[in-house]
Structure 1
Amino acid sequence: MGWWSLFPDPHLSVSLPLSLLLSSLALILALGIAAFFLEYVRKIGCRHSLERTAASDSFFEDPNSLKKVPCPSICDPPEKYISLIIPAFNEEHRLPGALIETMNYLQQRSAVEKSFSYEVLIVDDGSTDRTSKVAFDFVRKYKIDNVRVILLGRNHGKGEAIRKGMLHSRGELLLMLDADGATKVTDLEKLETQIHALRELNSSAATPNGLSLKLSDIEVAAFGSRAHLEKQALATRKWYRNFLMKGFHLVVLLTAGPGIRDTQCGFKMFTRAAARKLFTNIRLKRWCFDVELVYLCKHLGIPMVEVSVTWSEIPGSKVRLTSIIHMLFELILIRLGYGLGIWKIHT
């Protein structure tokens, strides 16, 4: 053994503490991120518990009589055949065209089918433009029994706007659709047909006195889908948008599991019983509430059916590439919230 062995390698003495320091910093960073996510998930759970027990909105405003109409609850018996819930944030330009098409269809169908009754709920999600004025113009024209407006005051997110509309609806069937009219309103019949078919399929499950369950009492969710348009979309989009889309679909698959190919289409229909369970449990308010709905359907045993719908891209979309980051964040929240049992599912 040479004399130099008595002295430590100066490079080794420096590299060991440096690597240890970097490892410690990485561990602290990882623990900090995990603590942030867990605290955020816990706060969402606490907020949801408060919202479940808080008093609901009291009244709708009637611009014709200037009287206030009491808000119904999803727990009340249905008073209409179908409710259409339209979330709207700064949609003064796109909303009128979609509403005209929607109201024309509903009026024509109710004239032919005497048992067909409807309501349209426009949920203004804190718009800073003239969206609420446009909405109330339709209330004046079609009366508050057919068109109603919920004002959220400030922007909460599309998921929260839809949740509010669902919880104050009167329909046996409840349909959410976008304010831009990207999906033809007539396609609601496709979803409606599938729900009735599932009802007939399960008609053997009768009530104790031998009577068939009412439409509003069965639990079914029908998801409008653009999956059949995927090849066309891949051919026209930029490569990085296709890459992000494929990556997002993979993360959705890992989060909610298989079953629904297009979770993000804004055209979904629920029976009243299904909506009552889903929208009293949903926690996410913005980007990935659709994925949470699929997750909840699976864990609540609510049958789902995916139905191809007509869809066209309307200028003015609020979805940006940065939205993918927000979506991934919310998907992580779903896995943590439900996976760790922090978010309880109420039945």
Structure 2
Amino acid sequence: MTKQLVSVILPAFRAAPVVVESIGKIRSAMKNEKIEIIVVDDGSDDDTSSKARIAGADQVIELRENRGKGAAVRAGVAVARGSYVVFTDIDLAYEPSQILNVIHGLDAGADLVIGSRRHSASQEVTSEGLARKWGSRIFSRLTAVLVPIPHSDTQCGLKGFTSAAAKRIFAQGKIDGFAFDVEVLFVAQKLSMTISEIPVSLEYVEQSTVKFVPQAIRMLYDVLRIRTWSILGRYTDSPSKLG
């Protein structure tokens, strides 16, 4: 149990079928922790926001249009009140008790704690599928060439930060889509932050709202943008407005 308030950010798009259950599971798993749950509705055209409020989310942020997971997490960080900030997937592919492992890593002194599906102790409760698995590995290898980061799994959907680290990193955030994870780790490395990797248990849930091939192309394009912006000196540790 930590003494810190923990902000749990749930980026959500068309999540009405799962948001109530997900909020309940997080509260149950973290019943001994001080938490605030922030649901960021990324331009959904269903009743994600209203159901999140009914389920007792502490804050519900509504983006006017679907901008992407990176934009949603960034909006959550902007309003987070906790000393620790964690984000995870709304479908809880990572069982919520694993958030406690993230908190332990932050308590131990890390600036960032990231889940890694490539960790030797990680487990897959259900497989993510051969095509997606190989696509993920190809993306990781290309990313390592374009944006050298000493982490084999940039895209794990469970990450935690101290509030200070989150604010500094996301103040520089420019990527709205799924490749924002690469940007987060790149900026953290640039700022010489301490990053701890932990094993995870993954129960893969097929997301009908995400089209794999178009997203993969967009992600690679965004990684190229990160590399270009880095060369141009666009990533500086100067204050900017979050959101």
Bucket of the pairwise TM-score, normalised by the shorter protein:
0.7 to 0.9
Match of 1:187 among 91, 98, 101: 98
Deviation of the 1:81 alpha carbon: 1.2
Identity %: 27
Show the 5 A alignment for 1:191-340: 191-198=102-109, 220-228=111-119, 237-238=129-130, 241-317=132-208, 318-340=210-232
Q: Partner residue of 1:153?
A: 64
Q: What one-letter code is carried by the residue in structure 2 that aligns with 1:301?
A: S
Aligned length: 234
1:90 matches 2:14: yes
**Matched-pair contact (CA < 8 Å) for 2:149–2:186:** no
**Matched-pair contact (CA < 8 Å) for 1:80–1:119:** no
Q: Which runs of 5+ in 2 are unaligned?
A: none
Deviation track 1:195-222 (CA, whole Å, cap 9, x = no partner) reads: 22236xxxxxxxxxxxxxxxxxxxx010
1:119 matches 2:36: yes
CA distance in 2, matches of 1:319, 1:304: 30
CA distance in 2, matches of 1:273, 1:344: 16
Deviation of the 1:181 alpha carbon: 0.9
CA distance in 1, matches of 2:92, 2:164: 26
CA distance in 1, matches of 2:94, 2:128: 19
Specify which structure has the higher proportion of strand.
2
Provide TM-score, normalisation by structure 2. 0.88
Deviation track 1:203-242 (CA, whole Å, cap 9, x = no partner) reads: xxxxxxxxxxxxxxxxx01001211488979x9744x545
- 1:237–1:299 CA distance, 2 compared to 1 (3 A): same
**Matched-pair contact (CA < 8 Å) for 1:178–1:266:** yes
**Matched-pair contact (CA < 8 Å) for 2:68–2:177:** yes
Structure of higher RCO (CA pairs closer than 8 Å, 6+ residues apart): 2
Aligned residue for 2:169, secondary structure, equals: helix
Q: Which runs of 5+ in 1 are unaligned?
A: 1-78, 110-115, 140-145, 200-219
Q: Partner residue of 2:73?
A: 162
Q: Partner residue of 1:105?
A: 29
Q: Partner residue of 1:346?
A: 238
Deviation track 1:150-209 (CA, whole Å, cap 9, x = no partner) reads: 11121111101100111101101000011101111111121221222236xxxxxxxxxx
1:134 matches 2:66: no
Q: What one-letter code is carried by the residue in structure 2 that aligns with 1:167?
A: A
**Matched-pair contact (CA < 8 Å) for 2:119–2:198:** no
Provide TM-score, normalisation by structure 1. 0.63
Specify which structure has the higher proportion of helix.
1
CA distance in 1, matches of 2:65, 2:172: 22
Structure number with bigger Rg: 1
- 1:319–1:290 CA distance, 2 compared to 1 (3 A): farther
